[in-house]
Amino acid sequence: MTNQLQALERTRLFIEEYTGKILLATMGKPKHVYELSERLGIPIAVCYRKINLLESYGLLFCSERKLLQNGKRISLYKSNIKNAQVIFEKNHIVAKFVMIDGTTNDESYEVDMTTCVEMAKQTA
């Protein structure tokens, strides 16, 4: 995947319903998948998939593994994002991510509207 496509996908994850909810819920105290599923109303299997996706893009990490009294281990997840901004301008998307370690990722890309118009015409 090209850097531009990866940046676009990372930006999309912020506005997608389930991944956006998970990122917001884990910005404070780390949460385990069952807690996220129950509190956010996300099916458990979908929650696991979204967590794996967010981890693969570096937006979420396992901050701790706990051993419960019943012998089961659970992972606690925390957002890597301190804050994010996504700005949509004419034919241009700008995304700025401030990570919890203080680093900043600025991503900017052009959107070719002629391609979007052609695709819309083909599907109509």
Q: Where are the domains of the chain?
A: 3-123
Three-point CA angle 83, 87, 91, nearest 5°: 150
Placement of tokens 């069952």 in the chain: 34
3-123 maps to CATH 2.40.50.140: no
Q: Please give the model's pTM, rounded to 2 decimal places.
A: 0.78
Q: Which segments of the chain are extended strands (E)?
A: 31-32, 60-67, 73-79, 81-89, 92-99, 104-110
Placement of tokens 């996908």 in the chain: 9
Answer yes or no: are the C-beta atoms of 14 and 99 closer than 8 Å: no
Per-residue pLDDT tens listing for the chain (124 residues): 566 666 677 777 887 899 999 999 999 999 999 999 999 999 999 999 999 999 998 899 999 999 888 888 999 999 999 988 888 777 777 788 888 988 887 777 676 655 555 555 665 5
HSE of 81, CA atoms in CB hemisphere, 13 A: 25
